[in-house]
Each structure stands twice: as structure tokens, then as C-alpha cells.
């Protein structure tokens, strides 16, 4: 593996930065287009532009394309949040890349109409909000076809690992104070007592899947929309219990009633459901499925925050 040309859109964030670092480590020539607010990963070639400035973004992509010798082996768009972003991908990368992997989200699924394990082809989708916009971005690629732009969409669930904050369930999600609160033996308030089922995916596993999808036979993945999730389905409270165990403390949980929280926070509806997935389509591509045990990945995540 390695030796190809990879462009990462948004290459300095949690997921995108991890993609860029992994591609550099594998021997790829890596370009990243970022807004320049954080340093680009070591070894990557940074090009600074905001994708909402269409002219400067197109110029940055042209410069990255010149670095790649006129064609990318893989483009990873980790920050396509709207259909306009996806249309930009179609415009700029048709006939200039061998593969586009667009990172979507499991939040596209309507939380009130899920089927378990949720499949990609038997689903009801949100039409509004973050999940609705992500679904609309997917639909742009579906409508464009794959002749000029061989695309793949991945839908990860909760992503954890070094580079992010801990927490998978409201109101303690991505909480920078979580480790301190656990050390002080505070009660951790979890929605529904933490009994919603989840399938968290370690960021290193997700990144490996993304990069492998850039290299497998196109007949196995191009035009595919693929769930990506970790190897184990757990109650959300188990996630927090494992974090507490890494600190050598006991987890004390207070149950937050679901109905009242849902009424007060309609914007959190996509968290208020079980989140576990059928991975048959991903397995059929031939990539190695995510396999980092949750305890192992959380140990690495906790230690990265302690050492930061």
C-alpha cells in the first residue's frame, strides 16, 4: 500500500487529520485543503482555502492537482455538510480522481423509524437539520452517477479516538470535563441511564476503511453507500464505564428522563435512539472491517487526553 496521490478536504481536523497522517505514514503523497486555522499534519502538503469561497477553493484544488501530476488516486471529503459541498465535489473532481470517498453520517437515518440492525437500503431518512443536509449531499452524488466521478459514501456512527473529546450520549457527549468529573467521583447524568445501544468506531479503523476503499476493485465499492461501525454493540453506559475503569474509578450514573429531555432538546433527536448497523455491504467490498475492541480504543483515547 502507499505510493499514491491523496487529497484530503479538511485535512487538519479530528477525522480528516487522522486520514492525512495515515496516508502520509503509508507512503502516499498527501495534499490537504484547509482553512489554515490549525497546522497541517507533518508530511502533508497544505493548501489554504475555505470551500465556501468557491474561487479560492478551486484554485487550491488546481494547485494540489498539479502536485499530484494531474490526477488524484483518492480524494477524501471529510467536511461535505451540504448538497452544495457535494456539487462542488462533482464539479472539481469529475475526471480528475480515481476515487472519491465522501464521509457522511449515521444521522441521516430518521431516529424514530430505524430498523435494527439498520441497513443502508431499508431506511427512512431525515429531511431537515444536520442529518437531512448530509443525506441531501449523498443524493447529489447518486444523481451524478459514477462514470466521471467514481464515488463511495461512508456512514460512520459515533467516532472516538485520539484527537477528539470523550462522550457518546447527551448530555455528556464530547465533554472536555468528563475525565475531571470522573476523577472527582461526580455523578454522570446519562440520557435514559445510558441504555441506548451503540456501535462506536475507533477513528483508526474508520480511517483504514476509508483508505482501503480508495484502493479496492471499483466493482466492489464504487457507487456504494456503506455503514461503518465498530466490532461490538454495547449499551452507552458501558462506554463510560470503560473510561472510568481506565482512570481507576467507579462510574456513578444518574438517569436523565428521555421524554422530558427530548421535548427540551429537539435538536438532539438523532442521539435519542439505538445506533447499531448492518455491515454486510461493507464486508462485501473486501476491506478489513473495524476490529479494535472498544476497551482498547478507549484506553488509547483516554491516555491521549491525559498526555495532552
CA atoms within 13 A on the CB side of 180: 4
Q: Mean pLDDT in the chain? A: 97
Instruction: Give domain 5-161+199-233+276-291's CATH number out of 3.40.50.2300, 3.20.20.70, 3.50.50.60, 3.40.50.720.
Output: 3.40.50.720
User: pLDDT grade, residue 255 (50/70/90)?
Assistant: very high
Q: Is the pLDDT of residue 1 over 60?
A: no
Q: What is the pLDDT of residue 12?
A: 86
Phi and psi, residue 25, nearest 5° = -65, -30
User: pLDDT grade, residue 147 (50/70/90)?
Assistant: very high
Q: Is the pLDDT of residue 106 over 80?
A: yes
Domain spans in the chain, listed from the N-terminal domain onward: 5-161+199-233+276-291
Instruction: Report, as an integer, the average pLDDT of 171-176.
Output: 97
Instruction: Report, as an integer, the average pLDDT of 271-277.
Output: 97
In SS3 terms, 26-89 reads as CCCEEEEEECCCCCCCCCCEEEECCCCCHHHHHHHHHHHHHHCCCCECEEEECCCCCHHHHHHH
- Tens of pLDDT, residues 4-60: 999 999 988 999 999 999 999 999 999 999 998 889 999 999 999 999 999 999 999
Q: Is the pLDDT of residue 207 over 90?
A: yes
Q: What is the pLDDT of residue 26?
A: 97
- Tens of pLDDT, residues 130-145: 999 999 999 999 999 9
Amino acid at each position: 500500500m502507499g505510493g499514491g496521490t491523496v487529497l484530503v478536504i479538511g485535512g487538519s481536523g479530528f477525522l480528516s487529520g487522522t486520514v492525512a497522517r495515515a496516508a502520509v505514514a503509508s507512503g502516499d503523497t498527501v495534499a490537504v485543503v484547509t482553512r489554515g486555522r490549525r497546522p497541517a499534519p507533518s508530511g502533508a502538503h497544505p493548501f489554504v482555502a475555505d470551500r465556501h469561497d468557491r474561487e479560492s477553493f478551486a484554485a487550491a484544488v488546481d494547485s494540489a492537482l498539479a502536485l499530484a501530476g494531474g490526477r488524484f488516486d483518492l480524494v477524501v471529503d471529510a467536511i461535505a455538510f451540504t448538497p452544495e459541498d457535494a456539487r462542488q465535489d462533482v464539479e472539481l473532481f469529475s475526471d480528475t480522481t480515481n476515487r472519491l470517498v465522501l464521509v457522511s453520517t449515521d444521522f441521516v437515518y430518521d431516529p424514530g423509524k430505524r430498523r435494527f440492525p439498520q441497513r443502508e437500503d431499508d431506511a427512512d431518512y431525515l429531511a431537515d437539520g444536520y442529518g437531512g443536509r448530509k443525506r441531501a449531499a449523498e443524493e447529489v452524488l447518486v444523481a451524478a452517477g459514477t462514470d466521471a466521478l467514481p464515488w463511495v459514501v461512508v456512514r460512520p456512527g459515533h467516532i472516538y479516538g485520539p484527537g477528539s473529546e470523550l462522550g457518546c450520549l447527551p448530555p455528556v457527549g464530547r465533554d472536555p470535563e468528563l475525565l475531571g468529573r470522573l476523577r472527582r467521583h461526580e455523578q454522570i447524568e446519562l440520557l435514559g441511564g445510558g441504555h441506548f445501544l451503540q456501535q462506536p468506531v475507533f477513528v483508526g479503523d474508520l480511517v483504514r476503511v476509508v483508505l482501503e476503499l480508495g484502493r479496492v476493485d471499483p466493482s466492489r465499492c464504487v457507487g456504494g453507500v456503506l455503514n461503518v461501525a465498530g466490532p461490538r454493540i454495547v449499551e452507552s453506559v458501558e462506554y463510560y464505564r470503560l473510561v472510568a475503569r481506565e482512570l481507576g474509578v467507579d462510574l456513578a450514573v444518574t438517569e436523565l428522563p428521555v421524554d422530558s429531555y427530548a421535548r427540551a432538546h429537539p435538536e438532539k433527536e438523532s442521539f435519542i435512539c439505538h445506533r447499531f448497523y448492518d455491515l454486510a455491504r461493507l464486508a462485501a467490498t473486501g476491506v478489513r472491517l473495524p476490529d479494535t475492541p472498544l476497551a482498547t480504543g478507549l484506553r488509547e483515547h483516554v491516555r491521549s487526553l491525559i498526555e495532552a
